[in-house]
Amino acid sequence: MPNFSSIAAPLHVLAAVLWVGGMFFAYVILRNSLGGLEGPQRLRLWNEVFSRFFPWVWAAVILLPATGYGQVFLDFGSFSDAGLHVHIMHGLGLLMIVLFFYLFFAPYQKFQKAVAAEDWAAAAGHLNQIRLIVGTNLALGLITVALGASGRFWV
């Protein structure tokens, strides 16, 4: 019978690719391509982008721990049977998830309200906070993916 990891591992990697790849596109490509847009247009565009991207991030922040813990407890046995890379990935993964929760429930809610009220100065301030958190999570995500994919070859 196929083990849990044969289903969980592809879902785990797909969730990581969608989340980290989406942040890379937003932070590195889109952010640097909007120079020609006026403030309100730019802020409205980010509002549209976030409303389409964040549901995918919610799927990723549910799937990553579910499939990760599943592999650890159902196939490996326990965390003491898992490699160092899994322990580091676990810590970094939880940090990324907490940062996303904060981003979603604090600056993003305020950003949405400020855009709806056309308070562009406030919206720009909240967007700046979102940018800092996404930049941090992108760096953590790239490190986590590199660790997760290479860890089994360390020993």
Interaction site with ligand HEM (CB under 6 A) = 9, 12-13, 16, 19-20, 64-65, 68-69, 71-72, 82-83, 86, 89-90, 93-94, 96, 141, 144-145, 148-149, 151-152
CB of 11 to ligand HEM, least distance (A): 11
- Which residue is it, tokens 């922040």? 61
CB of 81 to ligand HEM, least distance (A): 10
Write the single-letter amino acid at 7. Answer: I
CB of 102 to ligand HEM, least distance (A): 16
Residue 1 or 153 with smaller CB distance to ligand HEM:
153
Residue 19 or 46 with smaller CB distance to ligand HEM:
19
| Cα–Cα dist 32/23, whole Å | 13
Closest residue to ligand HEM, based on beta-carbon distance? 68
Residue 48 or 56 with smaller CB distance to ligand HEM:
56
Backbone torsions φ then ψ of 36, nearest 5 degrees: -80, -10
Residue 33 or 153 with smaller CB distance to ligand HEM:
153
CB of 93 to ligand HEM, least distance (A): 3
* DSSP track, 61-75: HHHHHHHHHHIIIII
Q: Is 51 exposed, middle or buried (0-12, 13-18, 19+ CB in 10 A)?
A: exposed
| Cα–Cα dist 21/13, whole Å | 11
CB of 49 to ligand HEM, least distance (A): 20
| Cα–Cα dist 138/28, whole Å | 10
